Amino acid sequence: MQLQDILFSQGFGTRRVCAGLIQLGHVTVAGAPCTDPGAEFPTEGLRFTVQGVDWPFADKAYLLLHKPAGTECSQKPSAWPSIYTLLPGPLRQRPTKSSIQGVQAVGRLDQDTTGLLLMSDDGSFIHRMSSPKHHVPKVYEVRTKHPVDAEQVRRLLEGVVLDDDPKPVAAAACEATGELELRLTLTEGKYHQVKRMIAAVGNRVEGLHRSRIGGLVLPADLAAGRWRWLGVEDLAALREPSP
């Protein structure tokens, strides 16, 4: 693939902008400067730098973001900063076949909810991970206002009725992890589902954190607001059920 097309595919601007970056000497490949936009390189395992920023070529982007509180999962936030501002420009500008450029959040977390958020520009992956038909388990650590009791846990496991759906919604797993703490596993993602389920059993969510999706656990060393690429093992873990 030509170098200008490589940069374009990764979100570094239009082909004309990418060609200009190369011609001005801002791009190195394998540690060597390259000023020819038409130079051909194999993309497998390719790494390059643009204006000093190291970048691995990725045909499709698969990311994990540790979402901080006080952010919205929207390109056009209404009141809080967008999670997309936490990503570097190229990831927000990657060309896609859809009308929206760049990587997209796989589902949404409320502005006050923290934890594991997947992002990608692969439409099939986004659908597979977010569709309730695929029953991908998502684990939430819940801090409640009132003490958690066995009756609340039982009702969450058996199913509670939410105001917009007469069919009971049940947790795939649920356990009290402290007097005011609950670990809840869901396989679907209705609007404000955790908060509404907890309210339905007479309690209230005071803090909410997503710690796991499938078999993928939010890394303990990934600080809030930081992101990283997902590797082959990470993607495989997403297909595993939660323990």
Asked if residue 226 has pLDDT above 80, the reply is yes
Q: If pLDDT is split at 50, 70 and 90, which confidence band does 151 have?
A: very high
Please answer whether residues 58 and 70 qualify as being in contact, where contact means their C-beta atoms are separated by less than 8 angstroms.
no
What domains lie within the chain, and their CATH numbers?
A: 3-56 (3.10.290.10), 62-133+215-238 (3.30.70.580), 137-213 (3.30.70.1560)
Of the listed ranges 126-135, 190-199, 234-243, the one predicted with least confidence: 234-243
Listed in sequence order, the residues at least 6 apart from 143 whose beta carbon sits closer than 8 Å to its beta carbon are 180, 181, 205, 206, 207, 208
Q: Give the CA diameter of the chain.
A: 69
Taking the model in full, what pTM does it have?
0.92
Asked if residue 163 has pLDDT above 90, the reply is no
Mean pLDDT of 12-17: 95
Average pLDDT, the chain: 94
Q: What angle do CA 114, 140, 128 make, to 5 degrees?
A: 90
The per-residue pLDDT for range 91-112, each reduced to its tens digit, is: 999 998 777 789 999 999 999 9
Listed in sequence order, the residues at least 6 apart from 167 whose beta carbon sits closer than 8 Å to its beta carbon are 161
- Rounded to an integer, what distance in angstroms lies between the CA atom of residue 119 and that of residue 116? 10
The per-residue pLDDT for range 228-237, each reduced to its tens digit, is: 999 999 999 9
Which residues participate in catalysis according to the annotation? 110
